[in-house]
Structure 1
């Protein structure tokens, strides 16, 4: 009666695997999109602070370099 054997187990396993992989891909895209926006926001804030004179040129350049290198994260 139950002549499906391991075939159904493989189908179930690969179905779950596909769903997990799709979830990982969506999460990676979501994370990348959020990171670029936050980096752009951080760059804009640094530019505004520099323009108002709150930070000097050396601090501005150092902060931009840290932001671009990925070592400066919130």
Structure 2
């Protein structure tokens, strides 16, 4: 058996009189708990949820129609104003 695990095995078998085995296990678990918290924070910081915005397809199509000359500037402004209104909440 690896020497690192020997105090834990003795403690669990009831042959050890010191708390070094339990202390070793607690330190091991504490290390991984802290490491997982740090990893989680880094992942959340690098890949934020909800901040990835998709392009508004209605606005994209409206801009394309305006660029092609299918609608004039007054129509473009009116349609843009309608699209920028907040969506009504259901219920």
What TM-score does the superposition give when structure 2 sets the normalisation length?
Answer: 0.47
Give the Cα separation in 2 of the matches to 1:28 and 1:62.
30
Secondary structure, counterpart of 1:49 in structure 2: helix
Q: CA deviation at 1:42?
A: 5.8
Give the Cα separation in 1 of the matches to 2:33 and 2:70.
58
2:42: which partner in 1?
22
Q: Deviations over 1:7-60 (max 9, x none)?
A: 11110111111112222122217x53x41x625x76443322234218x23222
1:53: which partner in 2?
71
**Runs of 4+ displaced beyond 6 Å:** none
What TM-score does the superposition give when structure 1 sets the normalisation length?
Answer: 0.54
Q: Give the aligned length.
A: 62
Q: What are structure 1's unaligned runs of at least 5 residues?
A: none
Secondary structure, counterpart of 2:55 in structure 1: helix
Question: CA-atom RMSD, angstroms?
Answer: 3.1
For the 8 Å contact 2:59–2:80, the answer to whether it is kept is no
Return the structure number with greater helix share. Answer: 1
Give the Cα separation in 2 of the matches to 1:7 and 1:60.
60
